[in-house]
Each structure stands twice: as C-alpha cells, then as structure tokens.
Structure 1
C-alpha cells in the first residue's frame, strides 16, 4: 500500500480524538438546569439560548434582534397570520395609519436600493412644498446624517417627528432618480418645519353620467379615524349637491381598519334606530365577556339615495362588515366578486413591559346581522360576502390592472408625477367592468355579467 495512505490512515483517528477534545475544551458549562417549572422555566430556557447565541454565534448579533425573532416565532405558532408582534417601528406605523394622520413634511416617496429616497411627488401647500422641495429630488441625508445604505423605514422615521419641529433634508437635484451618489447632481439643503400630514382613505369622488342621469362615485380604501367623518361625509355632500341621483361606494381592495369607523358608516346609511349592524362570538371562553352586538344609534341617514357597493377578493375585515350589514338590511346592491373572508377580529395590545411593542391578537369572530359567518372555514368553506351581481375578473391580469388602477387613483399627485411608466398609464386607463355594471344598474339598464 502507498506509504502516504498508511500515514493518512494512521493520523486520522488522532485528528478525530483531537477534535472531540477541542470541542469539550471550547464548550462552556452553563451550569445545572434551573429549578423552575412552567413559565419560569420557559423564560430561563430563552435566556440560556440568548446567552449562548450572543457569546458563541460566528457573526454579528444583538439582543434586540434575538428578542424580536423570539416574539415573532411565538406569535407565528398558532398559524394565524393575523396574530403578530409589531416591533417599535412597525407598531408606530400602525398607530399612525389607524389615526389617519402623522407629522412629517408632506411628500410621496419611494426607496432606492442604495438607501436614498426618491421624492415622487410633493403635496400642494404641505411643509415640503413651502420649503421648495420638488418632484424627483433624491433625499440623501436627514439632519446631516446620511441615509445611504440605511433601511428605508429607519430614514422615514427620522423624517417624521413631532409637530412644529425642524428637520434639515439634504437632496440631490437634476441627477438620476435612483442614484443617491450622482456626482453630476446639485446638492441642496432644505430646513423644513414638520406639520400634520393627513392620510386620505376617501378618494376620487366624482360624478359619472349614464343614460342622461348623474351618479356619484367614491372610493374608500381603508377605515381610519378620519375616514367617515369628515372625509366620506364631505364627499357625499358634494356629490349630492352636484345632482347625483345614486351612489357607487367602491370598497374593492379595502383591507379594513377600525371597526368602530365601519360601524359609524353603516349607521349613517341606515334610517332605522337600534338596527343590528354586526355581532361577535368568540371560541375562547375568556373572551366571551367582551362579545358584543353593535346597533344603530338613531333613525337619521346621511343620504337615502340608491346605493351600490363594489367589492372584490381584496375587500376584507371591516369592509366586509359594511358590505354584510348593508346587504342584509337591503340598503345596498352589492356588485363584483366574493369578498376575502376575514371574519376574525384582532385586538391591539400595547405591551406593558415595553409599550413601544404592540401585539395584534385574534380574539373573536364577527357575524352579519342575519348571522352569516364571514371567516373562511378551516375545511375550505369560502367565507366572505357573496355579491347580488357577480362579475368576476376575467383573469389575473385584469385583477392586477384594476388593483393598480385603484391604487393610482388614490394619489393626491398630478398625473404627470403619478404615471411614470407605460404599465401605470395602461392600468390608469383600463376598462372597469364592475363600475360600468354598477352605473348601468343605477340607470336601470341591462347588465352583462358574463363578459
């Protein structure tokens, strides 16, 4: 046998033994197991794993990342994607979204891959507009600290802040919109005083004509504190003054929001006092004390005009509460496709140990006035609200076109700043068969539901 093979095979056992001894020498005795049971033992287990990871992991780690990962794993355990932990940045963003306003500079932005931020548009009369920021400026620093190679969310939080506080925004102007290191661009500093920036959830209120008659159209994309009052109330009043003989309320792609705001909207369309709008029933006995019925407060309605609701597979949660109640009471005709089927309710809990964190936890389920269960079944039952007039999307391409069209129509920006690509222009001008059917129904015309 070759002498090199003899030497190799002779040395191999010694290497294995040496490796085992090295592992034993490098390993650390973390002490006897703690004398604890239940939650105390689970906490000790977490702390032990945390200590080992921080001391032994071959890479960069910090305790906050481990904590956030552990909390995310715990909330993922039930397999309910609506139950989740919100780390501080996400918790603050959720709070601002549901409030319907925040304090910032009033720009629509998009993050670039290098960490810079493109200003896609500047809101008229907002703080940024008054200071002189323009469309296509590229933000590269906030208060002198570069945002290059930094996470978009972190830079966004630095731009926002307390009301009437100053912030210095550094931009590149006249360069490439996706490049925060363009040496040919002009570098400018703007001192801006933060102000209130309203989040709009009511969009594109306008009058449509059909068969010589006028009908109002308005889209509601979310349910925030300011959705119904003042935004929707003012939109309906304007459309009514403009001579609308009926209304189309577009709830497509509305993923929900605050249930109490949805209930206020239902109440405003019903002219019956003490009418049942929605009720909840929890499977958890500990939550049943919080189950409730929600009823109308009076017999006054904001309008008695004929009403059509537009819905699709993106209509969910609080938007399904509105759809189910107005359908069950015969107040609205529902057009489109079956809604998403999210009939579970999440409570938002701000953690006492660290209120910067919040927990969205599913606590109950809701039902329509006639007792329809909205939540999708665990065995494949479809759930959701079925429209009176079903007009499904022809294919996924049409669905994506309409979803993009609705998103573009939400913007407060000019078409020039909004429609950057051919795909956006195609979506903005796409045929909307569901809206066309709704207007025909209001006008008393025939509707083609197959094409």
Structure 2
C-alpha cells in the first residue's frame, strides 16, 4: 500500500513536471517568436521610411549616409560609450591601444587656426629633423594646410614606415619659410611619459594611458626608481582616461599579492561575467604608495584606484574620478568598420560600482549600502560611481582671464620668448621684465584683464611660463621637473610619505 502510493505520487509528479516544461517551452518559443516578429516589423518600417526619404525628399540624399546616421542615433539612445566606428575611427582606436603607428613623431594642435607642432616626440624623425614646438605646418606634400583639421593632417602625416613626406614650416625665429623631408618610421607612444625622484627615497611615476605596453613600461620605470633609491612611490593617474581592461588588471597586480580580486565584470550575457584575480605576487608589495587621481581619471584608471584603495594598498589623493565603469566589446564589421558596444559593468573588490549613473540628478543620491576596505583597517569607502579619494584635494584653477583662452596662451608666449632669447637656459630667473613682456603679449592677443587680476595671479602665471619655457628648452624632462616642484597634489604626497615607513602609516591621519 505504502509503496504503491509512493509510485503513484512519483508518476503524478513526473507528469506535472513534463506538463510544466512543455508549457514553459511553448511560452518561451511564443515569446521569442513574438520578439522576432517585432524586430521584423520594425525593420520593415525602417526600410519603408528610408525608401520614401531617398525617393521623395526635396533634395537628393545618399541612402548609405541615412543608414549610418540612423545607426548612430540608435546607439546614442543606449549610452555615451556605445558607438559605430567608420574605418578611420576604428583605425585610430587600434593605434591608441597598440601604442605604435607609422608616422613622423609629432603632437599637433591648432593655434590661431593654423596647424602647429605642440611637441616632437624624442627619438623620432621629427625630433631628429629639429622640428620645434610652435612650428607652423603650412604645407604637406606641396598642398597648403589652410582650412585643414587636425584629423586631416594626421591622415596625411601618418603612413607606411620608410615612405617620405615633405612639409613646409613657418618658425617664429626665422623670417623665411623652409621645407623638410622626413622618412616615416614606427612611432611608439609612451604610456609612461615621465618617472623621476622627487626626494632621496621617494619616486614619482606618471602613467598616461593603458595601452598594450602600460604594465611593462610602468614596471621598467618602477625598477629604475628602485635602483635610484626609491622606497616609496607617488603613482600619478590624473588625466588618464583609461584603455585596455587587461592592462588595468596587470598594473594592479604589480602592487598586490597572489589570489587577490582586482575587479569583477558583470553583464546581461553570462559569458561576459568574470572575476579578475591575481595569479602571482606583485613586485612592489611593501613600498608605501600614494595614488593621485582627478576628474579625468577614468575607466582602467578607476579599476586600479578602486582596487588599491579597497585592499589598503594605496592612499588615494585628489578629486573623485570620472565614473566610467562600463566594458565595451568591439565587434568588427564589413568594410573595416566596427561596433563598440557596452556589454558589462565592472565592480571594485568591495563590490562598488565604478559606473556613475547617467541620470542628471544621480549625484544627489546616496548609496544605500555601506562599503569598507578589505584590509586590516576596514576603512569606509564610498560607492555610487567613480572613486572618491581618501583625501580630497582639488587642483587650483587658472585665473578667469586666462581660463577664457586656455593654457595655450603660455605655450604661445614660451615659443616667442625662447625665439627672442637665444642664450636662454634653465633655471629661469623670473623678474618683473618677464611678467611685463607677458602682459604686453596678452594685450597683443586682445585678452582683456584688469591690473588687479594680473597682480593677484602673478605666482601662477610665473609657474605656467616657467613650465612651458622649460618644456621648450629640455622637453618632457624639463616640463615635469618644473611642474612637480609646484604641484599641490605632489607636495601633499611628499609630505605624507616623508613620515611613513609602511602603507598603514599613510592612513593614520
């Protein structure tokens, strides 16, 4: 009797499970079919509209342009980072992540609507040819550059290594224009533009991006600083907008022991979910570290900052970071184009979302969850997007009359000042004559200011001029030596590190 009852119940339960599965499959199939029908209907509607516009619009339009505009409009509705990239944009992305390309090795910008050399990159064809900051590029291969954009110039200057490009230059110190022919070469973009000692046992290193060489260049720079006597580090990620997720993980691993979670990636597709965990001990586990961030620190920079903060491996100083905590997957398409699509968000080891909500009023909201570091101290850290520093320290603003024109005015003045003072050397001795010359320069550029504005800003004006002139005289090395001497974030980091013998000492403030 009992056995029979059990068998009967089992058969009934099995029957119910089969019925449930059949209903579920039928419902799921119907749902998928309905979704597919909706997609087909929408595509038919889109096709009809494209056809009507291309045939009857008052002016002739290209169907291809309409479709691409529609695609971009669709992706704009998703988030700021999903993007359809044409062939040129896709190529540029590959250049940025690979950290090398064929070219002549200059940074260029627009000054007074003229293509201008911002700086030659050391060791490149442009550097060897003697191109200087401030040189105006007025022709490329015999074609005048008037009306060109920076993108137009980059397209013409880059090319296959070994090929020639001819450019005509106008220089401040020379009355006559001159031509120079350069042979393109492989140009390597440095992820670490500068590293140096700021005190006898404190090393400073700046990481500018997270390209394929970020970890290796950073490791080389840190090794070099250690050989010079560094026992403590200032690690600068300000203005670093990110790059490759893998490089962010690798950089973090340099400072962490084995089996530590660096970042978690979570998306709608289960296949995108992943925990990035260190597989080996990093080389720099004991040196006290101060990490500098600002509003321009984003993406992979925030992975590193959040990770090292959560594991109490660095004291973070500066401003709350940008809050770009989403993962973009690249899908190559036809004709060398690609779709960059947001597929996941990433989270710090303590569970904080790096992504800042896109709603305009989201900054007013407070996280309902409390987050704490994972080290011994269990310090409170803050979520709701971006990485909030342990010590908030805003960067000084430029005087308003300078901010209206931007820092370019110091670049322009330094170019002219160097051209007019042939024997100029560092250190630059500032005096009232230099400031008066700058004041005259501002008036020539029709930049309005009051005597009170200028007098109250003399200190920062002198610093900016000294930095730009040092850059023109000694390149990156000269610029950074001056910049770091006045940088309030670096000064504070040095102050804290001077009294710290281990990482925990930095948190006892």
TM-score range, shorter chain: 0.7 to 0.9
Structure number with higher helix proportion: 2
The SS at the match of 1:201 is coil
Q: Give the match for residue 245 of structure 2.
A: 259
Change in Cα spacing, 1:46 to 1:172, as seen in structure 2 (3 Å) is: farther
Contact 2:108 2:150 in 1 (8 A): no
Matches within 5 A, 1:42-441: 42-43=42-43, 45-46=45-46, 49-50=49-50, 62=62, 65-78=65-78, 80-111=79-110, 117-131=115-129, 133-169=131-167, 171-174=168-171, 185-188=176-179, 190-209=180-199, 213-229=200-216, 231-270=217-256, 272-282=257-267, 284=268, 287-302=269-284, 304-351=286-333, 353-354=334-335, 356-377=336-357, 378=359, 379=362, 380-381=365-366, 382-388=384-390, 390-393=391-394, 397=398, 426-427=463-464, 428=467, 431-441=486-496
Unaligned 5+ segments in structure 2 are 1-35, 367-383, 420-427, 429-437, 443-459, 468-481
CA distance in 2 between partners of 1:185 and 1:42 (Å): 63
In structure 2, what is the Cα distance between the partners aligned to 1:315 and 1:134?
30
**CA 1:58–1:161 in structure 2 vs 1: closer, same or farther (change >3 Å)?**
farther
**2:379 matched to which residue of 1?**
none
Check conservation: 1:203, 1:220, Cα contact below 8 A.
yes
CA distance, structure 2, for counterparts of residue 88 and residue 71 of structure 1 = 15
Closer, same or farther: CA 305–85 of 1 in aligned 2, 3 Å: same
Distance 1:111 1:67 in 2: 32
Distance 1:244 1:425, change over 3 A: same
Q: 1:58 to 1:117 in 2, by over 3 A?
A: farther
Sort the Cα spacing of 1:426 and 1:57 in 2 relative to 1 into closer, same or farther, 3 A. Answer: farther
Residues 426 and 39 of structure 1: is their aligned pair in 2 closer, same or farther, counting only changes over 3 Å?
farther
Aligned to 1:21: none
Deviation of 1:371 after TM superposition, in Å, equals 1.5
Distance 1:53 1:154, change over 3 A: farther
Cα-Cα RMSD: 3.8
Report the more deviating stretch, 289-298 or 300-309.
Answer: 300-309
Show the counterpart of 1:33: none
Figure out how many residues of one structure are paired with residues of the other and give that number: 384
CA distance in 2, matches of 1:242, 1:96: 33
How far does residue 69 in structure 1 lie from its aligned partner after superposition? Answer: 2.2
Give the deviation of 1:385 after TM superposition: 2.0
Runs (5+) with no aligned partner, structure 1? 1-35, 178-183
**1:66 CA drift (Å):** 3.3
Cα distance in structure 2, aligned partners of 1:239 and 1:373: 34
Query: Is the CA contact 2:138–2:170 (under 8 Å) kept in the aligned structure 1?
Result: no
Kept in 2, the 8 Å contact 1:175–1:186? The answer is no
The answer as to whether partners of 1:256 and 1:317 remain within 8 angstroms in 2 is yes
For 1:385 and 1:173, the matched residues in 2 are separated by 45
Shift of 1:119: 2.4
Tell me: CA distance 1:186–1:300, structure 2 relative to 1, closer, same or farther (3 Å).
Answer: closer
Aligned partners of 1:175 and 1:185 also within 8 Å:
no
Q: Deviations over 1:243-279 (max 9, x none)?
A: 1120010112221111100111111111x22221111
TM-score, normalised to structure 2, is: 0.66
Q: 1:268 to 1:398 in 2, by over 3 A?
A: farther
Contact 1:89 1:153 in 2 (8 A): no
Shift of 1:207: 0.8
Superposed displacement of residue 165, structure 1: 2.4
Quick one: structure 1 residues 132 and 253, their matched pair in 2 at CA, closer, same or farther if it must change by over 3 Å? Answer: closer
Query: Take 2:139 and 2:100, find their aligned partners in 1: how far apart are those partners?
Result: 24
Q: If the length of structure 1 is used for normalisation, what is the TM-score?
A: 0.73
